[in-house]
Amino acid sequence: MATCELLRGSRPLLISMPHQGTELPETMMEQITTATKNLADTDWHVKRLYDFARHLGVSLIWPHYSRYLIDLNRPADNANLYPGANSTELCPTSTFASESIYLPGCEPDQSEVAHRLEQYWQPYHSELQNELARMKAQHGVAVLLEAHSIRSVVPRLFEGQLPDLNLGTSSGTSCSTNLQGAVAQSISSQTEYTTAVNQRFKGGYITRAYGQPSQGVHALQLELSQRCYMREEHPFTYLPERAKHIQPVLEQLVGTLLSWAEQQ
């Protein structure tokens, strides 16, 4: 059973979309609340936004299954990525709106969490690791872009309205300084959109775990406000007229990453 998809490209950039998935096992569908079934916390339409990248020879990876089953961007030991701040778990039990995901008594136990790690979390990370290793072996360098999106207002996670483009590099440790500078310049040059670097979103587990610039692997996360390209409330519709304005920004970002990687 394939739990994720990898489209292998020819250039030293991998775009990972770990919260793109929308499937849930039948057994879990029977355990969750009716309200949860709209999968509100999905990174909706991210694959569509970045579809241009595959024509540039970029590799892409995404899961079939929802983050409500298991969050691929959390560490296997469920450690909080933002100590002291509110955050969701490896196997979330509540939504960003602080609503229970499961019916009473149906939350996953330790055995079920271990099963999900083996069946869903590990395959994604194995594919991701192998692709980065292949890129580095072929090109001498590998760049990982973690592509995410989120509603512009989520009181559980941050105050007020989130900036449109949120770049995270684990406070500058997951990629080279000059790559971070080039990307920050790329997104901030678009005056139509607000930007932030290493503020509320510093990069999740994948960015922090795989970004090893001293080893030639550079990782960055871009958290994109969903108001830039879609309807933020159910049914979470993609808005082409709005999206066409943000896609050139993403294309410029991807071009910056490719140009930097291929000059190393």
3-state secondary structure 178-203: HHHHHHHHHHHCCCCCCEEECCCCCC
116 neighbors 69 (Cβ within 8 angstroms): yes
pLDDT of residue 244: 96
- Number of compact structural domains in the chain: 1
Q: What pLDDT is recorded for position 200? A: 85
- Which residues have C-beta within 8 Å of that of residue 234, sequence separation ≥ 6? 38, 40
Pure H helices in 30-109: 46-49
Residue span of the structural domain in which 166 resides: 4-261
CB-based contacts of 96, cutoff 8 Å, min separation 6: 40, 41, 88, 150, 151, 154, 156, 157
pLDDT of residue 88: 82
Instruction: Give the CA distances from residue 120 to residues 98, 166, 255, in Å, rounded to whole numbers and listed in that order.
Output: 24, 27, 31
CA dihedral sign, ordered 147, 152, 156, 158: positive
Q: Which amino acid is at 128?
A: L
d(Cα 22, Cα 54) in Å, to the nearest integer?
21
218: DSSP letter: E
24 vs 26: CA distance, rounded Å: 6
Which whole-number Å values give the CA distances from 24 to 21, 32, 64, 181, in the listed order?
A: 9, 10, 9, 39
147 residue type, one letter: A
Rounded CA Rg of the chain:
18
Q: What CATH number corresponds to the domain at position 41? A: 3.40.630.40
CA–CA gap between residue 53 and residue 102 (Å, rounded) = 37
pLDDT along the chain (264 residues), means of 10: 95 98 97 96 98 97 98 94 79 95 97 98 98 98 98 92 97 98 92 92 96 98 98 97 96 98 96
Q: What DSSP character marks residue 35?
A: G
Q: Which two tokens stand for residue 74?
A: 């959390």
Q: Are 234 and 40 in contact (CB under 8 A)?
A: yes
Contact, 153 vs 162, CB < 8 A?
yes
Q: Which pLDDT value is given to residue 84?
A: 67
